Chains A and B, each alone.
Chain A
Amino acid sequence: MMKKRIYIWITVSLFIAGAVSLLASQHPDGYEKAGKELGFIDRATSYLHSPLPDYAIPGMHSWLSSSLSGIIGVVITFGLFLLLGKMAGKRN
């Protein structure tokens, strides 16, 4: 029973990350917006080259790029938490 509910929530999450996210607003978020108004966002840089920068697959120029990034992110997040929870949780 609980297993089925978990499958449903995973499916919903995959759908949000893979499809609904394509409708996301491209405007800067609150922190960036404030940074533009106050002039500090120009100092922003990146010390790390991530495999999927800005939720996109490098070199892939279609909606599929961000859709797949979202799906990958949901899978990694679920997987990593299972691992972390197993290590940090109570021992049975």
Chain B
Amino acid sequence: MHIPDGILSPTILAAGAVVSVVVLAKSVQESKKNLEQTAVPIMGVMAAFIFAAQMVNFPLLGAAASGHLIGGALAVYLFGFWPTTLIMTTVVTIQAVVFQDGGISVLGINILNMAILAPLAASIVYKLLRKSKIPVTLMVFIAGWVSVVATAAFAALQLGASNVVSYRLALQTLILWHSIIGIGEGLITGAVVPFARRSSFFLTRREERS
């Protein structure tokens, strides 16, 4: 899901950068009000964990393709939407700057996709399912899957809007692959959440968890 340089149009890149800057300004504002210093190392270690997990591409059985965790649904479950945007932005920025994973001109769009839209999709799922009686593991699986597929759909719209390929083809192809990758996201999220809970890696204020 890390988009390289040279594919999207300058207009889309600029629009992505502007939206990301605006949202991140709001994230910083939120954390100035709500983020306790004691939570910082816990979120930092989860950022490091997500960075590590993103390195492990899992094969998609039977296809010459792979996928890896985004981690947005995991972080949102533990910390809520606004803190997650800071965690994911740290990861995505380091990947682009230090490891050339995701283009530098696309950083705004990659932050928008993986640090804002993926967590946003997951937090909507949590909001909808919070009151239902389904088990936590199933809920985070669904949030993980939805976050990946929704992000793929946005990435497809960005391709369409850049006149790279038709909207229809982009949506079809990206959603197809990511509906498989999303299963991996859901499984990993479902596997990690119980451990994180056992370590009390979450923010205790309830309103921040949705």
Interface set of A (CB-CB < 8 Å, partner B):
2, 5-6, 8-10, 12-14, 16-17, 20-21, 23-35, 37-41, 43-55, 69-70, 72-78, 80-82, 84-86, 88-90, 92
Q: Which of B57, B94, B199 lies in contact with A29, CB distance below 8 A?
A: B57
Q: How far is the CA of A21 from the CA of B58 in the complex (A)?
A: 10
B72 at the interface (CB under 8 A from A): no
Interface of B is mostly: helix
Q: How far is the CA of A30 from the CA of B199 in the complex (A)?
A: 32
Interface set of B (CB-CB < 8 Å, partner A):
1-7, 27-28, 31-37, 39-49, 51-53, 55-60, 63-68, 86-87, 90-91, 94-101, 103-105, 152, 155, 159, 164-165, 169-170, 173-174, 176-178, 180-181, 199-201
A-B contact count (CB 8 A): 229
Interface of A is mostly: helix
Which residues in A have their C-beta under 8 angstroms from that of B27? Answer: 88
Q: Which of A30, A46, A75 lies in contact with B65, CB distance below 8 A?
A: A30
Q: Which of B28, B56, B159, B180 lies in contact with A40, CB distance below 8 A?
A: B159
Query: Are A74 and B48 neighbours in the complex by a CB distance under 8 Å?
Result: yes
Closest B residue to A74 by CB, please name it. Answer: B48
Closest A residue to B148 by CB, please name it. Answer: A30
